[in-house]
Structure 1
Amino acid sequence: MRALPLGARAYVLSAVLTGALCAAPVLRPQAAVPWATVILLAAVYAVGSRTVRAPSPEWCGPVLLTGAFLLPPAAAALVAVPGALLGRVERHPAPVRRAWRAAQLSLAVWAAAYVFRALGGPYALRAAENPGVPGFPRALAAAPVAALVLGLVTAVLEGGVLVLAERRSARAAWRGRHLSALAPQLVHGPAGLAMAVLWRSPYGPGAALLVLLPMYVCACVFALCHRERAAHQATIRALVQAVDIKDRYTRGHSERVGRASVLIARELGMNGDRLEALRIAGILHDVGKLGVPTRLLRKNGPLTPEERRVIELHPEYGHEMVRGIRFLGEARTAILHHHERLDGSGYPYGLAGAQIPEFARVVAVADAFDAMTSTRTYSRARPVDTAVAELKRCAGTQFDPRMVRALARALDRHGWHAAVTADARAEAPDERGNVPPPAPLVRAAAADGPQSPPPTHPGGTP
């Protein structure tokens, strides 16, 4: 607890005490608590929380809701406690996190059980046991409401601890959290209701637990997708790190191009999978430099025509490297064509205008922008306004004017805070994130291939 701020410690302690207070009525001598149901549900939730290999134990959330539907609120609050105290914790302090999780779930389940009772849910369940007694449709309304309450209370409590323990702003702590917490409850509510009905049916708890089987299958599929996505990201990081190690002049360049590409894409109305694919395209656009001799990438003088032709092969090298990585999809076209020019004078194939894929036109602008605004060993950064002016000057011949306008709008709205490379001497940025005006450029083996003066590509890259 000492590692937590005082406010966070008080918050966690208050949650624990409040959870204990909510569960205290079960200790009354006159309390009629169905302990067999409490113990069985708590054991099922604890086993699911401890043993199932999934991103989170929430696949067995219907177990908590079944407790909320079948038990009094005080008893329902106990169902989550063993699982929370025994569950996996990856960050320290583990005891505090377990206690917090137990208190958070206890309060959420207690609130769900209370709302379910207030809406007449228990009466509706009793009606389900006797087909001739009306009233079950009320449970169909009460169960989803109770499930949403469970998700909402969990999200609110989680946001509070993030504000106090991690010093996040309230907006950042709760942004998107309610939606991510409430969405699963749309499934968990009906599943929990089905378990509760079967629990009280002649088939008993055994039949009720079968409801968890499809939930478990869904959780396994989700975990598989989660691991696959993590593997994708690890593949991308490994490729980028390999490029950064090989070409120390442009360390961090790939990530910044990915960020600038996303700024442009959002202005163009892209979202979802296309936005993510374009971010990856920006990050991997220079992966072909792995096929270029290191001595050329690090050469400090002008290149010969033959050396220049070798460097200009890096888009094709990159495309060949990632051609078999199917999840990259449209990003592969940007890797191959990000050095094409609108007037047809680019490489490797001399495409012009609309022949150049949209992703490649976005990445070309993002690449040139970062080349101009980043400090490197052979050139100092240009101010953002100067870089944008140069992009506009070359729009229509070298760059797609629509992409340039989109970047300019995004920079006006969000600004740009570029990091310098690890090997460059960083100049102190001003309040807008710009570094001082550049000294005259010294031609060298630039990140995307050098060229003979006078430069025709902003930032000195062809």
Structure 2
Amino acid sequence: MKPLPRTARAYIVCAALGAGACALPALLPPSPTPWATAGLLAALYALCELPARCRLLGRGPGGSVALGAGSFFPVLLAAALLLPPAAAALTALPGGLLARVEEPPAGWRRAWRASATALAAWAAARTAAALGAPAALGAGPAGPGLPRALLPALAAALVFCLVLTALDGGIRATADALPLRAAWRGLLGRALAPHLVHGLAGLMMGVLWRSAHGPAAALLVLLPMYISCWVFAQYHHERAAHQATIRALVQAVDIKDSYTRGHSERVGDASALIARELGMDGDRLDTIRFAGILHDVGKLGVPTRVLRKDGPLTPEERRIIELHPEYGHEMIRGIGFLGEARDAVLHHHERIDGSGYPYGLRGEEIPECARVVAVADAFDAMTSTRSYSRARPVATALAELERCAGSHFDPRMVAALVRALGRRGHPHAGEAGSGGDRQADAATADGTGGQVPAPRAPGPPARQDRGARTSPRGPA
């Protein structure tokens, strides 16, 4: 379990204090809080979140997928339209504390969720009140004025989304040591449309709540929200199945070639580090990580005796190993969700100067994803401890990558890795017993053990002494 950094804990404490300050006026006399409405909405939100913690009740139809938190935000947005700001903040607290938590530490995560949603509900209620939502939803002979309430409801939903994403970006920055820009990147774009839909659903609840039909009719809005919750959970279930597929393939490679055990996961992490530095996020970032993890899956098609051979490789054996990118591409080409990761598996041993394999592509002909993985692969080979040599210092590895940038590696990818490691360091460097790729692990010509792969010359490939990993030739 990864410990929660002190900065993240301090951030959560500050958010909790802020949420308490926002909700406190609702408890102090003289308070204008309509306790019947506030209590009912708070109980309703808590009851909506509570089933997700139950193994039986927290499943979708068919019992296949756990319900996700956040799909019942219309209750909070209805509270923002119907209640004073302090009461709206108070409404969010019980449900936030009862929400489902997937990973430890559960107490800190629940405190964070309750605080963040309370602050967002308070800000949404302030916005709605400033735009006249209470008057637009006031009971009267004609009932609530739906057109008048539309603008306050959408504005409240927008503010709710902005506050949540801002707070979420802050916790990501403190918990994962990310720059603020990187922590916030992509959060708003993914959250805006769902929150606006939740705002409309919250408006429907508010209108029905204040109509002649009363609160009982407002509960009907939760049925379509439950369905949307189940659909969203199905999406996450599919992603979990994708992850399981990736893990199974990587475990198969690790079992067959113990020499590279752990290498694939580390290359996936380094690839994601480079991609994030280049501004990639969301699905593209996941694809790059998958590409790094699966780059050596083609070794399943290489005879075990070749992978585990202790002595030098014969030219024929080297030709066999050099087929592993094509084997890997053939194995995974039917897995649709991998997208461009399949190109990275096929081309991660290509070089910028065209001396790589399997097709000798050069420069921009090499897919961007493959250029990222090539740098991550070589870097891990240099910074991993193996049975025959110690791990090189990170600074030495980066210097070697920079030396070969423009010939072997894309200079942009190398520069991104240097920048990222300069800020965050490399947590996997020097792990004992780990290994690298047999091609990315060959040393450079100067005999310094730089671990950058030697180029292929025309004709039969040269012998490679895997005990010393040295090559008589420098980069072309």
Cα separation, partners in 2 of 1:420 and 1:215, compared to 1, 3 Å: same
Q: Give unmatched runs, 5+ long, in structure 1.
A: 426-436
2:138 and 2:322 map into 1 onto residues whose CA distance is 76
Which of 308, 319, 326 is the aligned partner of 2:318? 308
Which of 269, 276, 294 is the aligned partner of 1:284? 294
* Preserved contact between residue 195 and residue 209 of structure 1 (Cα < 8 Å): yes
Cα separation, partners in 2 of 1:327 and 1:458, compared to 1, 3 Å: farther
Which of 404, 411, 416 is the aligned partner of 1:410? 416
- What is the aligned partner in structure 1 of residue 221 from structure 2? 211
Which of 119, 125, 142 is the aligned partner of 1:130? 142
* Preserved contact between residue 387 and residue 458 of structure 1 (Cα < 8 Å): no
- What is the aligned partner in structure 1 of residue 21 from structure 2? 18
Q: CA deviation at 1:269?
A: 7.8
242-251 or 324-333, larger mean C-alpha shift: 242-251
- What is the aligned partner in structure 1 of residue 41 from structure 2? 41
Q: State the SS of the aligned residue for 2:100.
A: coil
Q: State the SS of the aligned residue for 1:126.
A: coil
* Preserved contact between residue 82 and residue 206 of structure 2 (Cα < 8 Å): yes
1:355 and 1:11 map into 2 onto residues whose CA distance is 48
Q: Which amino acid is the alignment partner of residue 26 of structure 2?
A: A
Cα separation, partners in 2 of 1:245 and 1:356, compared to 1, 3 Å: farther
Residue 329 of structure 1 pairs with residue 339 of structure 2: yes
Q: CA deviation at 1:217?
A: 2.5
- What is the aligned partner in structure 2 of residue 430 from structure 1? none
* Preserved contact between residue 295 and residue 348 of structure 2 (Cα < 8 Å): yes
Which of 189, 202, 206 is the aligned partner of 1:196? 206
2:15 and 2:277 map into 1 onto residues whose CA distance is 42
Cα separation, partners in 2 of 1:279 and 1:243, compared to 1, 3 Å: same
Cα separation, partners in 2 of 1:326 and 1:38, compared to 1, 3 Å: same
Q: CA deviation at 1:262?
A: 5.2
* Preserved contact between residue 162 and residue 173 of structure 1 (Cα < 8 Å): no
Question: What are the equivalent positions in structure 2 for 1:34-433 lying under 5 Å apart?
Answer: 35=36, 37-52=37-52, 53=58, 56-73=68-85, 75-90=87-102, 102=114, 105-106=117-118, 108-126=120-138, 130=142, 137-151=147-161, 171=180, 175=184, 179=188, 184-258=194-268, 261=271, 273-339=283-349, 348=358, 350=359, 352-353=361-362, 358=367, 359-360=369-370, 363-364=373-374, 366-368=376-378, 370-372=380-382, 374-379=384-389, 381=392, 383-392=397-406, 395=407, 399=408, 404-411=410-417, 413-415=419-421, 417=426, 419-423=429-433
Cα separation, partners in 2 of 1:101 and 1:202, compared to 1, 3 Å: same
* Preserved contact between residue 170 and residue 180 of structure 2 (Cα < 8 Å): no
Q: Compute the TM-score of the two structures, normalised by the length of structure 2.
A: 0.70
Identity of aligned residues (%): 55
2:274 and 2:105 map into 1 onto residues whose CA distance is 42
- What is the aligned partner in structure 1 of residue 471 from structure 2? 455
Asked which structure has the greater CA Rg, the reply is 1
* Preserved contact between residue 251 and residue 421 of structure 1 (Cα < 8 Å): no
Q: State the SS of the aligned residue for 1:58.
A: coil
Q: CA deviation at 1:85?
A: 4.5
Q: Which amino acid is the alignment partner of residue 309 of structure 2?
A: K
Deviations 1:333-366 (A, max 9, x none): 3323444567877655x55558965244554455
Give the superposed CA RMSD: 4.8
1:62 and 1:298 map into 2 onto residues whose CA distance is 58
1:86 and 1:193 map into 2 onto residues whose CA distance is 24
1:158 and 1:265 map into 2 onto residues whose CA distance is 21
* Preserved contact between residue 127 and residue 136 of structure 1 (Cα < 8 Å): no
* Preserved contact between residue 373 and residue 384 of structure 1 (Cα < 8 Å): no
* Preserved contact between residue 249 and residue 421 of structure 1 (Cα < 8 Å): no
2:131 and 2:140 map into 1 onto residues whose CA distance is 16
Q: Which amino acid is the alignment partner of residue 62 of structure 1?
A: P
2:168 and 2:278 map into 1 onto residues whose CA distance is 35
Deviations 1:23-79 (A, max 9, x none): 215x76x968362x4444334322210124456432111112212322344554453
* Preserved contact between residue 369 and residue 458 of structure 1 (Cα < 8 Å): no
Q: State the SS of the aligned residue for 1:195.
A: helix
Q: Which amino acid is the alignment partner of residue 61 of structure 1?
A: F
Q: Compute the TM-score of the two structures, normalised by the length of structure 1.
A: 0.71
Q: CA deviation at 1:209?
A: 2.7
255-264 or 209-218, larger mean C-alpha shift: 255-264
Q: CA deviation at 1:310?
A: 3.5
* Preserved contact between residue 405 and residue 411 of structure 2 (Cα < 8 Å): no
Cα separation, partners in 2 of 1:345 and 1:442, compared to 1, 3 Å: closer
Deviations 1:385-420 (A, max 9, x none): 23432454xx3xxx5xxx523234324544574623
- What is the aligned partner in structure 2 of residue 431 from structure 1? none
The alignment covers a number of residue pairs equal to 430
Cα separation, partners in 2 of 1:151 and 1:244, compared to 1, 3 Å: same
1:42 and 1:415 map into 2 onto residues whose CA distance is 46
1:301 and 1:351 map into 2 onto residues whose CA distance is 28
Cα separation, partners in 2 of 1:456 and 1:55, compared to 1, 3 Å: farther
2:252 and 2:73 map into 1 onto residues whose CA distance is 42
